[in-house]
């Protein structure tokens, strides 16, 4: 099966094809590919971006694919598209659906997060699968955007999934049995009524629900063992003082973390969870009467938590990257975080591809 990856083809055509003017229709026809995997730039559709939609120049490569799709000598059998939540309400999305229908594709849209596969990381993304008729999917399609995988119930997804895919999620049976008896100390019973940070009771309730979901693995299953030079990842005192009340803090026995963005490690607010490595200190001890303390006292309290960023390897683990994956040595820490922040969860995409081709 031959694949066309929109990003690598249109961005790397000069390097790989020796051309500077882009790829013409004849160039695509020569490839005779069977599948298109698309992850167009998300900035035109993000809630914090410009939201210029199809007027943003960064949508040109995507619109070009839609333009040439009906004119290809061999219509690809499969299409998978990924983007941020918000793409589904865009003009670009409307153009995609119109093109698929005119080319006689069956399609299904999704809003999915890795938590559906037992991964303790929220990363809600829009996905669309398309299959050339007369072939059909192995599941019943709907014009509604599905928020679960179509062949499983949300509550029992991991246990009912195929064993070969579960092997990708790691951990042996003994560890799974051990996990069932553990809970996140950061959201334990002693803190049910304690809003120790700038959060609402609804936020706290949602965290507790996630941490009590035994179908989701523990954060500790994705951490580096014997981390060398952990001080490299500790949060600087200045950032601790400024952002202490809005940090999303998780512990090793938690079953949740928020989405890691490309600004992780460089910016603090809203870029991803941070890890509490002091297992013998509860958050309630630190944040009780926190506002009344002096800066020195606050810093002294916060230092007890030993808060650090997740390492690039740990984020890669949460994304499902294989253990043999590594970055080139010259790639800086900031660049690694940026690349991972723009990445996909491999488990989610692998399952979608399997559903698409079955």
| Beta strand extents in the chain (DSSP E only) | 3-5, 35-38, 78-84, 105-112, 125-132, 249-251, 274-276, 307-309
In a domain, 165, yes or no: no
- How many structural domains compose the chain? 2
242 and 274 co-located in one domain: yes
CB 28, CB 72: distance < 8 Å: yes
* pLDDT tens string 52-111: 776 677 888 888 999 999 999 999 999 999 998 988 988 889 999 999 999 999 999 999
148 and 214 co-located in one domain: no
- Known catalytic residues are 42
317 and 353 co-located in one domain: no
* pLDDT tens string 136-190: 999 999 999 999 998 644 333 343 343 444 444 444 434 444 444 445 766 554 4
Confidence category of residue 41, pLDDT binned at 50, 70, 90: confident
Q: What CATH number corresponds to the domain at position 272?
A: 3.90.120.10
59 and 102 co-located in one domain: yes
184 and 267 co-located in one domain: yes
SS3 state of residue 37: strand
In a domain, 289, yes or no: yes
337 and 349 co-located in one domain: no
Residue 43, domain extent: 3-159+345-357
Print burial letters for 203-239: b (CB count within 10 Å at least 16), e (below 16): ebeebbebbeebebbbbbbbbeeeeeeeeebbbeeeb
Q: Residue 193 pLDDT more than 50?
A: no
Q: Residue 205 pLDDT more than 90?
A: no
199 and 65 co-located in one domain: no
């Amino acid at each position: 099966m031959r694949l066309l990856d929109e990003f690598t083809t249109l961005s790397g055509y000069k390097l790989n094809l020796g051309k500077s003017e882009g790829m013409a229709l004849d160039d695509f026809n020569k490839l005779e590919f069977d599948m298109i995997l698309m992850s167009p730039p998300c900035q035109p559709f993000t809630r914090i971006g410009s939201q210029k939609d199809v007027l943003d120049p960064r949508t040109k490569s995507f619109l070009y694919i839609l333009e040439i799709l009906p004119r290809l000598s061999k219509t690809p059998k499969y299409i998978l598209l990924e983007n941020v939540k918000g793409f589904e309400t865009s003009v670009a999305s409307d153009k995609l659906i119109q093109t698929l229908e005119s080319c006689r594709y069956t399609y299904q849209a999704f809003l999915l997060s890795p938590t559906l596969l037992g991964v303790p990381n929220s990363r809600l993304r829009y996905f669309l699968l398309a299959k050339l008729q007369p072939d059909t999917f192995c599941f019943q399609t709907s014009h509604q955007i599905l928020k679960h995988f179509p062949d499983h119930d949300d509550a029992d997804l991991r246990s009912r999934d195929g064993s070969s895919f579960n092997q990708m999620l790691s951990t042996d049976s003994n560890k799974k049995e051990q996990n069932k008896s553990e809970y996140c100390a950061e959201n334990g019973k002693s803190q049910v009524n304690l809003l120790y940070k700038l959060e609402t009771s609804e936020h706290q309730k949602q965290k507790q629900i996630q941490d009590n979901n035994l179908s989701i693995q523990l954060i500790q299953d994705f951490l580096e063992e014997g981390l060398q030079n952990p001080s490299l990842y500790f949060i600087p005192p200045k950032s601790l003082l400024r952002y202490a009340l809005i940090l999303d803090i998780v512990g090793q026995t938690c079953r949740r973390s928020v989405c890691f963005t490309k600004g992780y490690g460089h910016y603090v607010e809203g870029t991803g969870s941070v890890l509490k490595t002091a297992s013998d200190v509860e958050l309630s001890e630190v944040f009780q009467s926190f506002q009344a303390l002096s800066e020195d006292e606050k810093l002294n309290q916060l230092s007890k938590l030993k808060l650090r960023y997740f390492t690039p390897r740990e984020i890669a683990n949460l994304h499902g990257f294989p253990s043999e994956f590594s970055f080139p040595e010259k790639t800086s820490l900031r660049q690694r975080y940026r690349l991972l922040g723009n990445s996909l969860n491999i488990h989610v995409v692998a399952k979608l591809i399997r559903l698409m081709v079955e």
